[in-house]
Structure 1
Amino acid sequence: MAKSTLSFVCQNCGAAYNRWQGKCDSCGEWNTLAEEDTTGSVPVSIRSKRKGRTFALESLSGKTQDAPRLSSGMTELDRVTGGGFVRGSVLLVGGDPGIGKSTLLTQATSMMARAGHRAVYISGEEAVAQVRLRAERLGLADAPVQLASETSVEDIVSTLSEGAVPRLIVIDSIQTMWTDTVESAPGTVTQVRASAQALIRFAKKTGATIILVGHVTKDGQIAGPRVVEHMVDAVLSFEGEGSQQFRILRSAK
């Protein structure tokens, strides 16, 4: 059994330290260090060593089998994403609580499902019944969207690997996901990073588009390690005043 290794990880940038300190030297934020067990579930000493496998290289001028972008069915969402979703892309959507992120993505998955594509909505924060109530309120209850309330990344990947490849997968939210490859609690920097990596690998392997919903901090920044913003293909910010009916979706990357 691997020896437990405790370290203090900055919840803003992911920098790790051997002992606690008030200020993170990497990002300059104060009081963001939290104690985490950084020992992996499989010790390095007993991991099986394997040789790298060869893979096929393709020509830049090669023809793609499908259309390069897939319309979401929502004109303004397509405008922000550059004309629709690219197969195998991963997007991160952030916004204040209650701003309408789940509502927007419920509409997007419903439009995709009505167009004949397999669309899946995975909620780690709400029960399936709550998602159904939102769809009924929006007049989308008849859309053939597949729903689930799940937080295990391994279970999600295993389930979505069966049958036809989903064209759109919504993960609401990435902070609630966890993977058994690390032993930290859900929501910590280590878990968020590892969960995002696993979902990105699945998207690139299958060609599915994945939208990750991210929480934001009090200053409007997406919570969790900043490295996740660099890992995904696009970062979208959903903004607006709670008392106003209009919302703004900006592309930060």
Structure 2
Amino acid sequence: MAKKVKSVYMCAECGNEFPSWQGQCSYCGAWNSIVEQKVKPDADSDARRRTTSRATPSKLKGVGTGNYTRITSGISELDRVLGGGIVLGSMILISGEPGIGKSTLIIQSANSIALNNGTVLYVSGEESEEQVKLRADRVCENLSDNLFIFPENNIDSVLAACEQTKPKFLVIDSIQTMYSEELDNTAGSITQIRACSNLLMKYAKTNNVPIFIVAHVNKLGDLAGPKTIEHMVDCVLNFVGERDRDLRILRSVKNRFGTTEEIGAFSMGSRGMTEVRDLSGTLLESSDIREEGSVASALYEGSRPVFFEIQALVTPANVGFARRSAIGIDNNRLNMILAVLEKKVGISLLNHDVYVNVVGGLKPDGPGADLAVALAIYSSFLERTSPRRVVALGEVGLTGNLRAVRNADRIVSEAARLGYETVILPRGNVKVSNPNADIQVVGAESLASAIKAFIDRN
């Protein structure tokens, strides 16, 4: 139990504590100098301190870095997103919409860690023991004897259970259901979430125990609760996907022990989460199909290129204003591309409805798919397609010029492996792309020249 702040009475002149209530300081002799001062708890009982009271500053140059000790989660896609495994003593926050599969993924990982590393404590603040057991029976082939379930919302009881079981891994599902008796606020309030997160962080760092925290999201898809939690934890993972599709994408938003550009792919099934090793093969049904309004693009996520298909449909508007609809692409980005097509290429889309969709439910991060979107719209509008199997990537600027993208050379190599014949890139990328005899690399200065290369039959 934390010590409460108490009041002491000091002399405003000399700073010594008043020995009596007679009105005169016995140290300096001053009259009527009494003031009240709040005394904080001792340093050893302050949960916010990371050093002892005797610690002194040290030179950064002399601090050893060393390699962090990691344990495997038993799921290679999850380990990839975390940077190679779970770092001991780290606090990992995973968020996502209800029903997206957060608890399913975590119970699979918790059971694997229990089988290989020892005791795992799964704290369920939302579901009963029977509900968690039913899920575990469905998604885990062999339940470990070291996996413990604890349905509790009181953070003090959770920490007491941790002291009793000494877990090697701790799961809190979810942080919004936890509360501390020392605070009068209801569970899920900003004060309660911040206080419970502080206590969990202290336990993780003190006992070198990794903690997985499940968090809710609001209606906008952002992490619910105070933003300070994201700054406190070591890693923030975001689990996204469409409810009508099996594909789930786990993306690292923050990672103190690895890159934030890595993604993991999973397929939701009756037996839980299944890893998707060939994400490009899932998003691209066939690289041989060439249809109007369909263009392949790619982006580089962490350590692997991901290929996906962009489809566009341009049709005359019947009544009222023309519609602009985008799935997987930012709608403001789509409007900008349409404006560039009208101004710099000369096609009028004022009286046409435009629909754009990223096949498979993937949401490309960044402007690297701009060129593929523009080519797909152009192809659908003129009802023409490329005579070759084409991959297009590049950022479209307001001037109509194409801006370079990252890791173009690796994307070109992967496109050749997948059987594509041509890659259309910004000219700035051609200089750094490795020449490949199995594929033609076309460098385009502007959107107009990229369109010419796309429909050129020579």
Shift of residue 70, structure 1, vs aligned partner:
0.9
In 1: Cα distance, 2:5 partner to 2:65 partner = 40
Residue by residue, what CA displacement relative to the aligned partner does 1:207-238 show, whole Å, maximum 9, x if unpaired? 00001100000110010000000000010000
Counterpart of 1:161, as a letter, is E
Determine if contact 1:118/1:167 at 8 Å carries over to the other structure. Answer: yes
1:103 counterpart = 2:104: yes
Residue by residue, what CA displacement relative to the aligned partner does 1:136-159 show, whole Å, maximum 9, x if unpaired? 111345223111100111111111
Counterpart of 1:83, as a letter, is G
**Structure 2 residue ranges without an equivalent (≥5):** 8-38, 44-51, 255-458
* Map of 2:78 onto structure 1: 77
Shift of residue 71, structure 1, vs aligned partner:
0.8
* Map of 1:159 onto structure 2: 161
Residue by residue, what CA displacement relative to the aligned partner does 1:58-110 show, whole Å, maximum 9, x if unpaired? 9733877xx61111111000000000011110011000000000000000000
Shift of residue 251, structure 1, vs aligned partner:
0.4
Say which SS state the counterpart of residue 161 (structure 1) adopts: helix
Give the TM-score of the pair, scaled to structure 2.
0.43
1:221 counterpart = 2:222: yes
Determine if contact 1:110/1:140 at 8 Å carries over to the other structure. Answer: no
Shift of residue 168, structure 1, vs aligned partner:
1.4
Shift of residue 192, structure 1, vs aligned partner:
0.5
Counterpart of 1:61, as a letter, is G
1:44 counterpart = 2:28: no
Counterpart of 1:172, as a letter, is D
* Map of 2:69 onto structure 1: 68
In 1: Cα distance, 2:235 partner to 2:53 partner = 29
Determine if contact 1:70/1:84 at 8 Å carries over to the other structure. Answer: yes
* Map of 2:148 onto structure 1: 146
Say which SS state the counterpart of residue 164 (structure 2) adopts: coil
Report the structure, 1 or 2, having the larger strand content. 2
- Point out which structure has higher relative CO (alpha carbons under 8 A, 6+ apart): 1
Determine if contact 1:132/1:141 at 8 Å carries over to the other structure. Answer: no
In 2: Cα distance, 1:212 partner to 1:250 partner = 16
Shift of residue 44, structure 1, vs aligned partner:
2.6
In 1: Cα distance, 2:42 partner to 2:209 partner = 28
Counterpart of 2:160, as a letter, is S
Counterpart of 1:108, as a letter, is S
In 2: Cα distance, 1:242 partner to 1:155 partner = 35
Determine if contact 1:124/1:150 at 8 Å carries over to the other structure. Answer: yes
Residue by residue, what CA displacement relative to the aligned partner does 1:121-145 show, whole Å, maximum 9, x if unpaired? 1000000110000011113452231
Say which SS state the counterpart of residue 79 (structure 1) adopts: helix
In 2: Cα distance, 1:104 partner to 1:57 partner = 42
Say which SS state the counterpart of residue 247 (structure 1) adopts: strand
**Structure 1 residue ranges without an equivalent (≥5):** 1-40
Say which SS state the counterpart of residue 150 (structure 2) adopts: strand
Percent of aligned pairs with the same amino acid: 39
Say which SS state the counterpart of residue 180 (structure 2) adopts: coil
* Map of 2:116 onto structure 1: 115
Counterpart of 1:148, as a letter, is F
Determine if contact 1:95/1:237 at 8 Å carries over to the other structure. Answer: yes
In 2: Cα distance, 1:62 partner to 1:241 partner = 41
Say which SS state the counterpart of residue 162 (structure 1) adopts: helix
Shift of residue 116, structure 1, vs aligned partner:
3.4
Shift of residue 55, structure 1, vs aligned partner:
5.3
Say which SS state the counterpart of residue 192 (structure 1) adopts: helix
In 2: Cα distance, 1:102 partner to 1:163 partner = 22
In 2: Cα distance, 1:90 partner to 1:238 partner = 17
Is the alpha carbon distance of 1:208 and 1:57 closer, same or farther for their aligned partners in structure 2, counting shifts above 3 Å?
farther
Is the alpha carbon distance of 1:205 and 1:55 closer, same or farther for their aligned partners in structure 2, counting shifts above 3 Å?
farther
In 2: Cα distance, 1:235 partner to 1:157 partner = 22
Number of equivalences: 210
* Map of 2:53 onto structure 1: 53
Residue by residue, what CA displacement relative to the aligned partner does 1:179-217 show, whole Å, maximum 9, x if unpaired? 123211000011011011110110000000001100000
* Map of 1:232 onto structure 2: 233
